[in-house]
Structure 1
Amino acid sequence: MCGRYTLSSRAEDIARAFEAELPPAEATDAARAFALPRYNVAPAQPAPVVRATGDGRRLVAAHRFGLVPAWADDPRVGARMINARAETAAEKPAFRAALRQRRCIVPMTGFYEWQKRGSRKQPYFITMQDD
């Protein structure tokens, strides 16, 4: 996962695309997360995800961007846990249990990759060609 991403799809469109339910309108985190468009979603910010419920339904829910490992004492560690390599995620203690049991879909319109140019970093926006 990259450090910043964008999301311009409406919550209703996300729910329709993934055959998911929307949260109650009074959910405060959901209201903040679903205030779209979002052009710079950063670690620890609330954003919509699609997750499974205990009874197998899909729900569009507000979660904070990042991963808080089960062993972490402080939830702020989630702001730093945003990158996992597909080749090693199943073996790394920070990601292993989450990969097996706590997955979700993170809808996004695009993401930023940063490339170092001398002493500066240049962001590049990556998106589907038809968006």
Structure 2
Amino acid sequence: MCGRYATTRTSAELDDAFAAGLGDGVELPAPDWNVAPTKQAPLVVGRRRDDADEAAPPRRELHAATWGLVPSWAKDRSIGNRMINARSETVAEKPAFRSAFARRRAIVPADGYYEWYAGEGPKAPKQPFYITAAGDGDARDVLALAGLYEFWRPSRDEPWLLTFTILTTSAEGADGLLHDRAPLLVRPEVRDTWLAPIARPAGELLDLLVPATPGRLEAWPVSTQVNNVRHNGPELVEPLPAE
């Protein structure tokens, strides 16, 4: 986890889910059922309110960001292709992530994400599965994936690029059959603490997060069309008919 996901909610729906208005001049990308690395997607960040002290809840904002974190010190943005996920076990120490983990934490809104099950045998084809919040149709909650963000630009004369990564942990239960890693989720009651742009002990921050476990999510097999990033539409998340 996590190499592809879906995010299709409007800015109004994301505001309802996360109490986050659009940042100044921000226009969110179109609904996307096949978000891949280097594509843009919605991101919820926390900003310190004007004239507020550190303890005040942050102002939540929606931004459009590129998936694949590019550290501020990177010479080339292509490093972001390898920085789509950050392991929670080492995120506080890794040079690429530790600065963002300290003060630039985010929420990545997702309808659901995809994993591929290889089956048995060395030549068994990989079957994609869609994993989403338990529920019914449009009533499913938006997943609040734990993320980090960073600003980068190649030179002083060029605009800033906003990039992000998704935090992962060891997969549990049935999720471990699909993939050995799973995203971390930010519970509603701790979102202000997670998003606040202030440094906190690493253990305290990680204690705010919970793994995306089978009790919170459900999964079903979907079409292999999702394998090609050029395919995009609600048909990608439809369950395959039972054989």
TM-score range (shorter-chain normalised) is 0.7 to 0.9
Rounded to whole Å, the distance in 1 between the matches of 2:88 and 2:14 is: 25
Matched, 1:127 2:132: yes
Matched, 1:104 2:98: no
Q: Which structure dedicates a bigger proportion of its chain to strand?
A: 2
Q: How many residues align?
A: 125
Matched, 1:45 2:39: yes
Rounded to whole Å, the distance in 2 between the matches of 1:23 and 1:99 is: 21
Deviation at 1:114, TM superposition (A): 2.0
Between the two proteins, what is the percent identity of the paired residues? 46
Counterpart of 1:71, as a letter, is W
Q: After the TM superposition, which residues 42-81 of structure 1 pair with which residues of structure 2 at under 5 Å, given as runs?
A: 42-55=36-49, 56-81=58-83
**CA root-mean-square deviation:** 1.9
Deviation at 1:6, TM superposition (A): 0.4
Please state whether the residue corresponding to 2:102 is helix, strand or coil: helix
Question: TM-score with structure 2 length normalisation?
Answer: 0.47
Contact 1:21 1:60 in 2 (8 A): yes
Question: TM-score with structure 1 length normalisation?
Answer: 0.83
Deviation at 1:67, TM superposition (A): 0.8
Name the residue aligned to 1:22. Answer: 22
Counterpart of 1:42, as a letter, is A
Contact 1:90 1:96 in 2 (8 A): yes
Rounded to whole Å, the distance in 1 between the matches of 2:71 and 2:126 is: 29
Deviation at 1:121, TM superposition (A): 3.0
Q: Can you list the C-alpha shifts for 1:59-97, whole angstroms capped at 9, x where unaligned?
A: 111011121122211122212211221111112111111
Where structure 2 has 5 or more consecutive residues not aligned to the other structure, the ranges are 50-57, 141-243
Contact 1:44 1:76 in 2 (8 A): no
Please state whether the residue corresponding to 1:88 is helix, strand or coil: coil
Contact 1:48 1:62 in 2 (8 A): yes
Contact 1:12 1:22 in 2 (8 A): no
Counterpart of 1:123, as a letter, is P
Rounded to whole Å, the distance in 2 between the matches of 1:105 and 1:116 is: 30
Name the residue aligned to 1:7. Answer: 7
Deviation at 1:54, TM superposition (A): 4.1
